[in-house]
Amino acid sequence: MVYIGIDLGGTNIAVGVVSEAGSILAEASTKTLYQRPYQEIVKDMADCAMKALAKANLTVDDVKSIGIGIPGVANQETGMVIFCTNLGWADIPLRDELQKYINKPVFIDNDANVAGLAESYAGVSAGCKSSVFITLGTGVGGGIIIDGKTWTGAHSRAGEMGHLNLVVDGIPCTCGNNGCVERYCSATALIHMGKQACLGYPDCDIMKRASGDPEKINAKIVIDSAKAGDPVAVRIFAEYTRYLALFINTITSFFDPDMIVLGGGVSHAGEFLLNAIREQLPRYLMFKALPAPKLELAQLGNEAGIIGAAMLGKTI
Amino acid sequence: MVYIGIDLGGTNIAVGVVSEAGSILAEASTKTLYQRPYQEIVKDMADCAMKALAKANLTVDDVKSIGIGIPGVANQETGMVIFCTNLGWADIPLRDELQKYINKPVFIDNDANVAGLAESYAGVSAGCKSSVFITLGTGVGGGIIIDGKTWTGAHSRAGEMGHLNLVVDGIPCTCGNNGCVERYCSATALIHMGKQACLGYPDCDIMKRASGDPEKINAKIVIDSAKAGDPVAVRIFAEYTRYLALFINTITSFFDPDMIVLGGGVSHAGEFLLNAIREQLPRYLMFKALPAPKLELAQLGNEAGIIGAAMLGKTI
């Protein structure tokens, strides 16, 4: 038996046929065109699933279940999408609509939860009883995985890592609060720190790499500049990773998973990022003599969306 | 069948025989005298258990398992106490030692985890799939309960609520860090805020209730003064409950349990405390349209230690 995994994004619908072991056997995709009625989008999901099955020389009879990762919040019991801001969706009966085309069990979950689940089946956290996945991208998202299942909480609120409070009365956040993790630990935050620093040091290495245009500064430039040893970038990166260490310490003291996995754009900084955080963590850690959660990089990249969605229906 | 629950404290060993339903059938206790060799303390635990059984007209044959709540950290797999600072214990084979006297399954867990477990079997959070218990006392402790089991994490670190970072570079904490939850949300923190305020307002109601002696200020005085509407105390209590709201928001955005339960000395402020926090929570909450964890007061008081320890061996 195989699993269908659907990665529903604001731009693309990516669908894969996934094996029991969590590898993608075939894929199909199409544009989301999210302004359309949701019924058309769901029909395209089903069409892509059929195409991917055909590519893999399989039929619906080989499918055990379908999983969908959405950029929003779902009610797992009713199969409703509660909301999906980027798609303009609210109270959409996604499961029922999809089952009109393919009558198999359908599971729906947040895309960051799903990416964490993928890592726990087929990526770096495979074999862990518990893990926490964090995406460091435009925003900060995340997911909690326990015993091969996403932990969505009692009201579908769990894993909103980006909006834990990190700094009391800190930087205003798009969510309406102040001082959220997202304002200090996202790629956006790192870029903002880079731009701010360049105001005071217009001749610094970051500016050189951005061809003198602060608007061209991105996370990779700041990180590359820190790797090269530029003092301004080194200071910024130390500040950024200090916030990450504080955030990771909160996860450790509260939940203490086997592993904390970093994904998203900033995680492409690789060992340089891990080492910087690992250096700062012991300062904050309680019970210094006890072992602590492993800190690792995500392995699956873009495939995590499809694999994780597929694995929503898998039971261990 | 019954369960033995042992509440091991720095001053007393309290032992109870507990029914399947989580009620105490009989109790026995003795002084801990923690300076003694641990073997003597463990023998007294066993003696108390036998006494309590006799009082309940039961024998060891009626016992399903024994649970022990300790003011420290245990390894649930090995049955070792890793450390227990107040008793001066480190690497103590508590399970093996106790089984010399009573050969039944022995479970060991942190006392705050155990109190949370008690509430989830026989207290306010009974019936909840998940709950987080917080003690607001001299320090801040807590426990996470999932499906009738304490969640101790992968390295026995989970539930160290008091040492989540709340204020970056905040008040120095006894743990060596700065800005821990404990420094803002404990009874100690509330007393400290009261004392600080009285320096500026020596004629305020708090000082009157403390007979003009700042050293007599306790949490109850500050709370009673706030209840009476004294402007200084009202302001302190609003600040204190704002920190609690931020802390509770972190738990909600990360873990989203069915219920968050407040215990410990400060929780005796009752509905006055709950209402003050509930008033501040919506300001911080993501997804304001979704339901959120219930916030309630612990119900079991001192009995929670025995009941929760006993329930460590219960499987649902």
Per residue in A208-233, pLDDT tens?
Answer: 999 999 999 999 999 999 999 999 99
Residue tagged 């426990």 (tokens)? B143
Q: Which residue has the higher pLDDT, B208 or A315?
A: B208
pLDDT category of residue B234 using cuts at 50, 70 and 90: very high
pLDDT category of residue A316 using cuts at 50, 70 and 90: low
Query: Is some CB atom of chain A closer than 8 A to the CB atom of B153?
Result: yes
B175 → closest Cβ in A254, A255, A286: A286
Degrees, nearest 5: CA angle A261-B255-A65: 70
Which of B264, B246, B266 has the alpha carbon at shortest distance from B190?
A: B266
pLDDT category of residue A111 using cuts at 50, 70 and 90: very high
Q: pLDDT at position B316, please?
A: 60
Residue tagged 């390894």 (tokens)? B75
pLDDT category of residue B137 using cuts at 50, 70 and 90: very high
Q: pLDDT at position B250, please?
A: 96
**CA–CA gap between residue A130 and residue A144 (Å, rounded):** 8
Q: Which chain A residues have a beta carbon less than 8 Å from that of B292? A: 155, 157
Residue B312 has pLDDT above 70, yes or no: yes
DSSP state of A269: G
Cβ neighbour number for residue A212 with a 10 Å cutoff: 11
Mean pLDDT, chain B, integer = 96
- Segment (H or E) for A303: none
Per residue in B213-227, pLDDT tens?
Answer: 999 999 999 999 999
Q: Chain-centre distance of CA B271, in angstroms?
A: 19
Whether the CA torsion A70, A76, A81, A83 is positive or negative: it is negative
Query: Residue A284's closest chain B neighbor by CA?
Result: B177
How many angstroms separate the CA of residue B252 from the nearest CA in chain A?
Answer: 7
Per residue in A84-99, pLDDT tens?
Answer: 988 999 999 999 999 9
Q: Are A140 and A112 contacting, i.e. CB atoms less than 8 angstroms apart? A: no
Q: Which chain A residues have a beta carbon less than 8 Å from that of B73? A: 287, 290
Cβ neighbour number for residue A224 with a 10 Å cutoff: 17
Which of B106, B170, B180 has the alpha carbon at shortest distance from B142?
A: B180
Mean pLDDT, chain A, integer = 96
Q: What would the two tokens of residue B215 be? A: 């050293």
Q: pLDDT at position B86, please?
A: 82
Q: pLDDT at position A288, please?
A: 85
Q: pTM for this structure?
A: 0.95
| A residues 207-246 closer than 8 Å to B (CB) | 243, 246
Q: pLDDT at position B289, please?
A: 86
**CA–CA gap between residue A159 and residue A146 (Å, rounded):** 12
Query: Is some CB atom of chain A closer than 8 A to the CB atom of B282?
Result: no
Per residue in A24-46, pLDDT tens?
Answer: 999 999 999 999 999 999 999 99
Per residue in A246-272, pLDDT tens?
Answer: 999 999 999 999 999 999 999 999 999
Cβ distance of B284 and A165 shorter than 8 Å: yes
Q: Are B73 and B85 contacting, i.e. CB atoms less than 8 angstroms apart? A: no
Residues near B25 by Cβ (< 8 Å), separated by ≥ 6? B2, B16, B17, B18, B19, B56, B58
Per residue in B67-97, pLDDT tens?
Answer: 999 999 999 899 999 999 889 999 999 999 9
Residue B160 has pLDDT above 80, yes or no: yes
Q: Are B222 and B237 contacting, i.e. CB atoms less than 8 angstroms apart? A: yes
Helix (H, G, I), strand (E, B) or coil at B87: helix
Q: pLDDT at position B263, please?
A: 97
Residues B255-274 have a mean pLDDT of: 97
Q: Which residue has the higher pLDDT, A286 or B131?
A: B131
Q: Which chain A residues have a beta carbon less than 8 Å from that of B254? A: 144, 158-161, 164, 250-251, 254-255
Per residue in A64-84, pLDDT tens?
Answer: 999 999 999 999 899 999 999
Residue B188 has pLDDT above 80, yes or no: yes
Cβ distance of A253 and B163 shorter than 8 Å: yes
Q: Tell me whether residue B37 is exposed, middle or buried, using C-beta atoms within 10 angstroms of its C-beta: 0 to 12, 13 to 18, 19 or more.
A: exposed
**CA–CA gap between residue A84 and residue A110 (Å, rounded):** 9
Q: Are A168 and B167 contacting, i.e. CB atoms less than 8 angstroms apart? A: yes
Helix (H, G, I), strand (E, B) or coil at A203: coil
Q: Which residue has the higher pLDDT, B85 or B199?
A: B199
Q: pLDDT at position A286, please?
A: 87
Share of chain A above pLDDT 70, in %: 100
Q: Are A253 and B157 contacting, i.e. CB atoms less than 8 angstroms apart? A: yes
Could you tell me where the beta strands, DSSP code E, fall in chain A? 2-8, 12-18, 24-31, 63-70, 73-75, 80-84, 89-92, 106-110, 130-136, 140-146, 149-150, 259-263, 294-297
Q: pLDDT at position B315, please?
A: 73
Residues B146-152 have a mean pLDDT of: 96
Residue B278 has pLDDT above 90, yes or no: yes
- The ipTM (two decimal places) reads 0.94
